[in-house]
Amino acid sequence: MHILFIGDIVGRPGRDVVAAQLPRLKDALQLDFVVANGENAAGGFGLTRALADDLFALGIDCITTGNHWADQKEILSLIDQEDRILRPRNYPAGVPGKGVGLYHTRRDHRVLVMNVMGRVFMDPLDDPFAAVEAELSACPLGEGADAVIVDMHAEATSEKMAMGQFCDGRASLVVGTHSHIPTADAQILPQGTGYQSDAGACADYDSVIGMEKFEPVQRFVKKMHTSRFTPAMGPATLCAVFAVTEGAGFVSRIEPVRVGGRLAQTMPAL
Protein backbone atom coordinates (compact mmCIF):
# COMPACT_ATOMS: atom_id res chain seq x y z
CA MET A 1 0.00 0.00 0.00
CA HIS A 2 1.26 3.51 -0.84
CA ILE A 3 0.58 6.05 1.92
CA LEU A 4 1.15 9.81 2.04
CA PHE A 5 1.11 11.64 5.37
CA ILE A 6 0.88 15.43 4.84
CA GLY A 7 2.15 17.72 7.61
CA ASP A 8 0.22 20.59 9.24
CA ILE A 9 -1.60 22.65 6.58
CA VAL A 10 -1.16 26.31 7.60
CA GLY A 11 -3.67 28.85 6.28
CA ARG A 12 -4.35 29.68 2.65
CA PRO A 13 -0.76 29.16 1.42
CA GLY A 14 -0.79 25.64 2.87
CA ARG A 15 -4.17 24.86 1.35
CA ASP A 16 -3.09 26.28 -2.01
CA VAL A 17 0.08 24.20 -2.23
CA VAL A 18 -1.83 21.04 -1.32
CA ALA A 19 -4.43 21.83 -3.99
CA ALA A 20 -1.67 22.44 -6.55
CA GLN A 21 0.52 19.45 -5.74
CA LEU A 22 -1.62 16.63 -4.36
CA PRO A 23 -3.23 15.57 -7.68
CA ARG A 24 0.27 15.17 -9.19
CA LEU A 25 1.52 13.32 -6.11
CA LYS A 26 -1.44 10.92 -6.19
CA ASP A 27 -0.55 9.96 -9.76
CA ALA A 28 3.24 9.95 -9.45
CA LEU A 29 3.29 7.98 -6.20
CA GLN A 30 0.25 5.78 -6.98
CA LEU A 31 -1.25 6.64 -3.61
CA ASP A 32 -3.77 4.38 -1.92
CA PHE A 33 -4.36 6.47 1.22
CA VAL A 34 -3.70 10.10 2.20
CA VAL A 35 -3.70 11.55 5.73
CA ALA A 36 -3.24 15.27 6.41
CA ASN A 37 -3.06 17.26 9.61
CA GLY A 38 -5.58 20.09 9.21
CA GLU A 39 -5.60 21.80 12.59
CA ASN A 40 -4.07 25.03 11.21
CA ALA A 41 -6.00 25.15 7.94
CA ALA A 42 -8.37 28.01 8.90
CA GLY A 43 -6.13 31.07 9.06
CA GLY A 44 -3.61 29.13 11.10
CA PHE A 45 -6.06 28.17 13.83
CA GLY A 46 -8.52 25.32 13.54
CA LEU A 47 -10.63 23.82 10.77
CA THR A 48 -14.03 24.70 9.29
CA ARG A 49 -16.63 22.58 7.56
CA ALA A 50 -16.04 24.26 4.18
CA LEU A 51 -12.28 23.82 4.37
CA ALA A 52 -12.62 20.19 5.42
CA ASP A 53 -14.88 19.57 2.43
CA ASP A 54 -12.30 21.22 0.16
CA LEU A 55 -9.53 18.98 1.52
CA PHE A 56 -11.62 15.84 1.10
CA ALA A 57 -12.42 16.87 -2.48
CA LEU A 58 -8.67 16.99 -3.19
CA GLY A 59 -8.39 13.31 -2.28
CA ILE A 60 -7.44 13.45 1.40
CA ASP A 61 -8.95 10.41 3.12
CA CYS A 62 -8.51 11.43 6.77
CA ILE A 63 -7.82 14.74 8.54
CA THR A 64 -6.01 14.63 11.86
CA THR A 65 -5.65 17.61 14.19
CA GLY A 66 -4.04 18.61 17.50
CA ASN A 67 -4.16 21.31 20.14
CA HIS A 68 -5.94 23.79 17.81
CA TRP A 69 -8.66 21.35 16.73
CA ALA A 70 -11.48 23.30 18.49
CA ASP A 71 -10.37 26.85 17.68
CA GLN A 72 -13.17 27.20 15.12
CA LYS A 73 -16.27 26.47 17.16
CA GLU A 74 -18.30 25.11 14.24
CA ILE A 75 -16.05 22.04 14.39
CA LEU A 76 -17.71 21.00 17.65
CA SER A 77 -20.86 19.96 15.83
CA LEU A 78 -19.16 18.77 12.64
CA ILE A 79 -16.68 16.43 14.29
CA ASP A 80 -19.41 14.16 15.66
CA GLN A 81 -20.92 13.85 12.17
CA GLU A 82 -17.76 13.47 10.06
CA ASP A 83 -15.84 10.27 10.77
CA ARG A 84 -12.96 11.38 8.56
CA ILE A 85 -11.94 14.17 10.98
CA LEU A 86 -10.09 13.10 14.13
CA ARG A 87 -9.11 15.01 17.26
CA PRO A 88 -6.52 13.71 19.73
CA ARG A 89 -7.68 10.42 21.23
CA ASN A 90 -6.41 11.26 24.71
CA TYR A 91 -8.81 14.13 25.41
CA PRO A 92 -11.04 13.41 28.44
CA ALA A 93 -14.24 11.42 28.06
CA GLY A 94 -17.22 13.44 26.89
CA VAL A 95 -15.31 15.73 24.49
CA PRO A 96 -16.94 15.80 21.02
CA GLY A 97 -15.39 13.71 18.29
CA LYS A 98 -13.11 10.72 18.33
CA GLY A 99 -9.41 10.05 18.03
CA VAL A 100 -9.36 6.91 15.92
CA GLY A 101 -10.96 5.76 12.68
CA LEU A 102 -10.92 2.63 10.53
CA TYR A 103 -11.12 3.41 6.82
CA HIS A 104 -11.32 1.34 3.63
CA THR A 105 -9.31 2.18 0.54
CA ARG A 106 -10.55 1.79 -3.02
CA ARG A 107 -8.74 -1.56 -3.11
CA ASP A 108 -10.46 -2.50 0.16
CA HIS A 109 -7.43 -2.23 2.40
CA ARG A 110 -8.35 -1.44 6.02
CA VAL A 111 -6.43 1.53 7.43
CA LEU A 112 -6.57 2.40 11.13
CA VAL A 113 -5.61 6.02 11.87
CA MET A 114 -4.93 7.25 15.40
CA ASN A 115 -4.41 10.85 16.52
CA VAL A 116 -2.87 11.49 19.95
CA MET A 117 -1.28 14.51 21.61
CA GLY A 118 1.88 14.64 23.69
CA ARG A 119 2.04 16.05 27.21
CA VAL A 120 5.57 17.48 27.39
CA PHE A 121 5.36 21.31 27.14
CA MET A 122 1.68 20.93 26.16
CA ASP A 123 -1.70 20.63 27.89
CA PRO A 124 -1.73 17.80 30.46
CA LEU A 125 -4.15 15.46 28.70
CA ASP A 126 -4.68 11.77 29.41
CA ASP A 127 -1.77 9.41 28.76
CA PRO A 128 -1.19 9.15 24.96
CA PHE A 129 0.69 5.85 25.35
CA ALA A 130 -2.23 4.24 27.17
CA ALA A 131 -4.60 5.57 24.51
CA VAL A 132 -2.51 4.09 21.69
CA GLU A 133 -2.11 0.80 23.56
CA ALA A 134 -5.89 0.47 23.88
CA GLU A 135 -6.42 0.97 20.14
CA LEU A 136 -3.55 -1.29 19.08
CA SER A 137 -4.99 -4.04 21.28
CA ALA A 138 -8.52 -3.53 19.97
CA CYS A 139 -7.50 -3.53 16.29
CA PRO A 140 -4.15 -5.29 15.82
CA LEU A 141 -2.10 -4.76 12.69
CA GLY A 142 -2.55 -7.71 10.35
CA GLU A 143 -5.80 -8.77 12.01
CA GLY A 144 -8.17 -5.82 12.34
CA ALA A 145 -6.26 -3.53 10.00
CA ASP A 146 -3.95 -3.86 7.01
CA ALA A 147 -2.13 -0.65 7.99
CA VAL A 148 -1.98 1.39 11.20
CA ILE A 149 -1.00 5.07 11.13
CA VAL A 150 -0.32 7.17 14.25
CA ASP A 151 -0.21 10.99 14.21
CA MET A 152 1.74 11.96 17.36
CA HIS A 153 1.01 15.68 17.77
CA ALA A 154 3.67 16.77 20.22
CA GLU A 155 6.27 19.39 21.07
CA ALA A 156 9.14 17.24 22.34
CA THR A 157 11.03 15.09 19.84
CA SER A 158 11.89 12.71 22.68
CA GLU A 159 8.21 12.04 23.33
CA LYS A 160 7.58 11.51 19.63
CA MET A 161 10.52 9.12 19.32
CA ALA A 162 9.34 7.24 22.41
CA MET A 163 5.96 6.78 20.74
CA GLY A 164 7.64 5.44 17.62
CA GLN A 165 9.60 2.87 19.62
CA PHE A 166 6.50 2.04 21.68
CA CYS A 167 4.60 1.23 18.45
CA ASP A 168 7.46 -0.55 16.66
CA GLY A 169 6.23 -3.87 15.32
CA ARG A 170 2.60 -2.96 16.01
CA ALA A 171 1.99 0.04 13.71
CA SER A 172 2.84 0.69 10.09
CA LEU A 173 3.73 4.37 10.39
CA VAL A 174 4.25 6.83 13.27
CA VAL A 175 4.69 10.46 12.23
CA GLY A 176 5.03 13.52 14.42
CA THR A 177 3.22 16.78 13.80
CA HIS A 178 2.95 20.21 15.51
CA SER A 179 6.54 21.48 15.21
CA HIS A 180 6.03 22.58 11.56
CA ILE A 181 9.67 21.75 10.73
CA PRO A 182 10.46 18.63 8.65
CA THR A 183 12.97 16.43 10.43
CA ALA A 184 15.72 14.43 8.73
CA ASP A 185 15.18 11.14 10.56
CA ALA A 186 12.82 9.18 8.29
CA GLN A 187 13.61 5.53 9.04
CA ILE A 188 12.28 2.02 9.43
CA LEU A 189 12.53 0.95 13.06
CA PRO A 190 13.92 -2.52 13.90
CA GLN A 191 10.55 -4.30 13.91
CA GLY A 192 9.20 -2.70 10.73
CA THR A 193 7.43 0.51 11.74
CA GLY A 194 8.12 3.58 9.62
CA TYR A 195 8.94 6.71 11.61
CA GLN A 196 9.68 10.44 11.21
CA SER A 197 9.77 12.86 14.16
CA ASP A 198 7.94 15.63 12.28
CA ALA A 199 6.44 15.72 8.82
CA GLY A 200 6.86 19.49 8.69
CA ALA A 201 4.18 21.91 7.54
CA CYS A 202 2.53 22.93 4.33
CA ALA A 203 3.40 26.59 4.78
CA ASP A 204 5.46 29.57 3.65
CA TYR A 205 8.88 28.93 5.23
CA ASP A 206 9.91 32.62 5.02
CA SER A 207 8.23 32.81 8.42
CA VAL A 208 8.32 31.59 12.00
CA ILE A 209 6.74 28.11 11.79
CA GLY A 210 4.40 29.35 9.07
CA MET A 211 3.43 32.64 10.75
CA GLU A 212 4.31 36.18 9.67
CA LYS A 213 7.72 36.97 11.15
CA PHE A 214 7.22 40.30 12.91
CA GLU A 215 4.94 39.30 15.76
CA PRO A 216 6.74 36.14 16.95
CA VAL A 217 10.14 37.88 16.69
CA GLN A 218 8.71 40.84 18.64
CA ARG A 219 7.52 38.51 21.38
CA PHE A 220 10.90 36.81 21.68
CA VAL A 221 12.95 40.01 21.57
CA LYS A 222 10.77 42.48 23.50
CA LYS A 223 8.42 40.15 25.41
CA MET A 224 5.51 42.17 24.00
CA HIS A 225 2.29 40.99 22.34
CA THR A 226 1.29 43.58 19.73
CA SER A 227 -1.05 41.57 17.50
CA ARG A 228 -2.30 38.04 16.84
CA PHE A 229 -0.34 35.55 14.79
CA THR A 230 -1.31 35.36 11.11
CA PRO A 231 -0.06 32.96 8.43
CA ALA A 232 2.83 34.09 6.22
CA MET A 233 1.38 34.50 2.73
CA GLY A 234 4.30 33.69 0.43
CA PRO A 235 4.67 30.55 -1.69
CA ALA A 236 4.37 27.44 0.46
CA THR A 237 6.22 24.14 0.52
CA LEU A 238 4.20 20.94 0.82
CA CYS A 239 5.95 18.74 3.37
CA ALA A 240 4.91 15.12 3.75
CA VAL A 241 6.08 11.58 4.41
CA PHE A 242 5.70 8.81 1.81
CA ALA A 243 5.61 5.20 2.95
CA VAL A 244 5.12 1.83 1.27
CA THR A 245 3.74 -1.10 3.25
CA GLU A 246 3.98 -4.77 2.34
CA GLY A 247 1.63 -7.68 3.03
CA ALA A 248 2.05 -7.81 6.81
CA GLY A 249 1.47 -4.07 7.09
CA PHE A 250 5.05 -3.11 7.87
CA VAL A 251 6.96 -0.44 5.98
CA SER A 252 9.46 -1.42 3.30
CA ARG A 253 10.20 2.15 2.25
CA ILE A 254 9.85 5.62 3.82
CA GLU A 255 10.95 8.95 2.35
CA PRO A 256 10.28 12.64 2.97
CA VAL A 257 8.44 14.73 0.38
CA ARG A 258 9.05 18.47 -0.10
CA VAL A 259 7.60 20.21 -3.17
CA GLY A 260 6.99 23.88 -3.96
CA GLY A 261 8.05 26.97 -2.09
CA ARG A 262 11.57 27.71 -0.83
CA LEU A 263 12.77 24.51 0.85
CA ALA A 264 15.11 22.08 -0.94
CA GLN A 265 12.90 19.83 -3.04
CA THR A 266 12.72 16.06 -2.62
CA MET A 267 10.33 13.75 -4.39
CA PRO A 268 10.40 9.92 -4.25
CA ALA A 269 10.67 8.11 -7.56
CA LEU A 270 8.79 4.88 -8.18
Catalytic residue list: 68
Q: For the packed helices 11-28 and 49-57, what is the interaxial angle rounded to 10 degrees?
A: 20
- The stretches of the chain forming alpha helices (DSSP H) are 11-28, 49-57, 75-78, 128-138, 157-167, 214-222
Residue 150's DSSP bridge partners are 114, 174
The span from the CA of 255 to the CA of 191, in Å, is 18
The span from the CA of 102 to the CA of 264, in Å, is 34
Using DSSP, state whether 223 is helix, strand or coil: coil
The span from the CA of 73 to the CA of 119, in Å, is 23
CB-neighbour burial class of residue 8 (10 A; exposed 0-12, middle 13-18, buried 19+):
buried
Contact 13, 203 (CB under 8 A): yes
